Amino acid sequence: MDAFPALRGADRFRYLREKAHWLRRETLRLHKVAPETRVASSLSDVEIFTALWYGGLVAVDPRDRFGKDRTRFLLSKGHGGLSMYPILAEKGFFPASELENICKPGTFLGGIPDPIIPGFETVNGSLGHGPGVATGMALGLKRRGNPAQVVVVTGDGELYEGSVWEAILYAPSQRLDNLTFIVDRNDTAMLNFTEKIAELEPLADKFRAFRWETREVDGHDVEAVWNALTELRASPSPFPRCLIARTVKGKGAPTLEGNPLSHITSLKGEEVDRLRAAMGERP
Amino acid sequence: MSAPEIRAMREPVIERIRERMHDDAGVFFLTADFGSPALDRLRAEFPDRFLNVGIAEQNMVNIATGLALEGYKVFAYAIAVFATLRCYEQLRVNLGVLAQLRPMSVHMIGVGAGVSYDVSGPTHHGMEELAAVRAMPRFAVACPSDWVLARKWVDHAVDAGGTGYIRLDGKPVARLYDDAALAAADYRIGFHAFSVSAPLTVVATGFMTQKALRLRERLAARGVAIGVVDVFNLRDPDGVRFREALHGVATVVTLEEGFPHRGGLDTLVRSLLDGAPTRIRPRGFAERYTFEIGPREFLHEANGLDEASLEAFLLETLAERA
């Protein structure tokens, strides 16, 4: 099933790039199936999800999805969840045919994912919950001596929620080295660029000041994302880890990239077809 | 009759949690920097299952959720208004929405029901939080009127799991439930009839049940009988039993430290007695925040809830029907 562990060197990253390419094309295709989905947010997190789920950094058995050894993966930015659906279908959490029903009556695949979808741990999309819940899970695992990892992905607009900072303040004090916080730093909230709303920068310095072991990478370079996450996991730091993935909201769709309103912009079906055709089958 | 034993509810509640922690390694205690003498002992005995998360109630609920998803049975403790209203969105998303999909055991403990933090002013008066948490489906709401009943709820919470809120008084209160009444008190039934009087029965919750029983004594001294029913499950008391208990009662006066007509006790009683011929007269705080400074009874007086005013009100209400 999962080819990554058997691959070595450049082959690994070729594999991850192919997966990311596939995932971006699938995300676009599914947006055509359900135009009410937040495509721009879902295009910025493609390489993050690919590195995690195809790079061996998130391990969840679809036949035992709450097994105690699983990686706890929390998608706090639930609105970017469209690009998780093809991964979960491909890994066997639900039949791939369900993807054609996104947002249609009777499906469990909504515009913002909830744990009625196999593969999702928590309620997402209401912002400001994931980091604190992940902190509690990481704490619970530590207290029980369970070595499983907790990974939480937020957007950057979500960083305006005060509860996120309560968790950022608290997790280091508990030395939760089993917790990884990934920020999909696509510079854009719902109505504008973050730096025009209230400056988040210097963001990495903020995490470091709170004692998080922090890296910043190009969030669309899947190799760099994988390397940074792997390095963070191997770090001897007793503190929780943070990866700031510098991304582009709407990556791969020129009408969305650089558009301050990309969050609430949908792509027309013909535009999706054109983009997918231009991308080709392979990267 | 010997004087009833008076205790602050939180002490026996936390003592009972500590006892349960001894036989259940899954019980975990969080506080938002809020203490008690009993908590000092709990913290010393269970440093691995006690955390002070700081004055950060949102984070406390999120952390409680994470711990509960890892199998812990969590109690999260703070001042009543902050344990509920300060973090209502966290309660709703995690202990409401998520808890419907993933089994978990998280119980909020709020201290400072009604105006029990009298001189702290309206920021610390628990006036709306009961109605607010009642709005959530599946979320247990306990409002005990004395400390033995409050303590008993700990066992219900640990054994039944789920999510909920227990509202504790901030001041020491008298024991109202004798051993037999306590043994019979069942959270699923959710109320206890100290007495029922057909012309008029007071249905109260929390501290106001203490007051209702004092009113019953005052009126008895004048040869006037009233009934007193204590509701301690504010979410879903047994409606059939409740209607049976109050069958034939002409007037029910509801008494609560909260705003009437806003979703609290009177709203619950109305829904329970829907279709019954019983007249319902709600009494609670006036439609404003109370800035007056003084002890609880002084604040009650400012809102027409002192014993003398209530006694007069009950007599008038009885006379209306006569």
Q: With CB atoms and an 8 Å threshold, state whether A143 touches B54.
A: no
Q: With CB atoms and an 8 Å threshold, state whether A134 touches B66.
A: yes
Q: With CB atoms and an 8 Å threshold, state whether B63 touches A131.
A: no
> Among partner residues A139, A146, A163, which is closest to B67 by beta-carbon distance?
A139
Put simply, whether A121 touches B (Cβ < 8 Å) is yes
Inter-residue contact A219 to A47 (CB < 8 Å) = yes
pLDDT in tens, A250-283: 999 999 999 999 999 999 999 999 999 999 998 8
Structure-token pair, residue A53? 């789920």
Q: With CB atoms and an 8 Å threshold, state whether A115 touches B67.
A: no
pLDDT in tens, A61-92: 999 999 999 999 999 999 999 999 999 999 99
Give the global pTM: 0.97
- Taking CA atoms, what residue in B is nearest to A137? B66
What is the residue-averaged pLDDT of chain A?
Answer: 97
Contacts of B63 in chain A (CB under 8 A): 132-133, 135-136, 139, 167, 170
CB pairs under 8 A between A and B: 95
Please give the domain boundaries of chain B with CATH numbers for all domains. 6-174 (3.40.50.970), 189-320 (3.40.50.920)
CA distance A229 to A214: 10
Q: With CB atoms and an 8 Å threshold, state whether A138 touches B94.
A: no
**B47 has pLDDT over 60:** yes
**B1 has pLDDT over 70:** no
> Among partner residues B56, B66, B93, which is closest to A136 by beta-carbon distance?
B66
CA distance B251 to A173: 57
Q: Is there a cis peptide before residue A172, judged by omega within 30 degrees of 0?
A: no
CA distance A47 to A39: 14
Q: With CB atoms and an 8 Å threshold, state whether B63 touches A135.
A: yes
Give ipTM to 2 decimals. 0.97
Inter-residue contact B215 to B311 (CB < 8 Å) = yes
The percent of residues above 70 in pLDDT, for chain B, comes to 98
Put simply, whether B58 touches A (Cβ < 8 Å) is yes
**A157 has pLDDT over 80:** yes
